[in-house]
Amino acid sequence: MGLLAPRSPARPPRLAIAPNPGNPRAEISFILAADVPVDLTVWSADGRRVRTLARGDTYGAGSHAVTWDGRDEGGRQAASGAYLVRLRADGRMTSGKLTLVR
C-alpha cells in the first residue's frame, strides 16, 4: 500500500490592476496555478456589485487579462470613485482596489 503525498495548499491567485487610477477603463490581470472556474466582479465602495466580468468561466493555468470598460451591468458609465475588484478562483479569493476617474 502506497502513501499519499500531502496536497500543498492552494495559492491565492495573483491580481494586478492597471492603469490605476483608470480612465475610463482598467485592465485586470491575474495568474492562475491551474485550470479553474473564475468569478471576477467589481464592487462599489458601499458594497454594491457594479459589474460581473466573469462568472464561473474556466480559465487555464497562466496569465490572463480582462478589461473593465468602466460601465455597470446596465451599460451606464460608473461614477468616479473607489472600487474593489474581487477575484475568486479554486476556492480562494483575492481583491484589489481600483480608482476610477472620469
CATH of domain 14-100: 2.60.40.4070
74 pLDDT higher than 70: yes
Separation CA 32–CA 67 (nearest Å): 17
Separation CA 9–CA 5 (nearest Å): 12
83 pLDDT higher than 80: yes
In this prediction, residue 90 carries a pLDDT of 86
Domain ranges of the chain: 14-100
Tell me, yes or no, if the pTM score tops 0.75: yes
In this prediction, residue 102 carries a pLDDT of 81
At 6-44, the pLDDT tens digits run 544 566 678 999 999 988 899 999 999 899 999 999 999
Cell digits for 45?
465602495
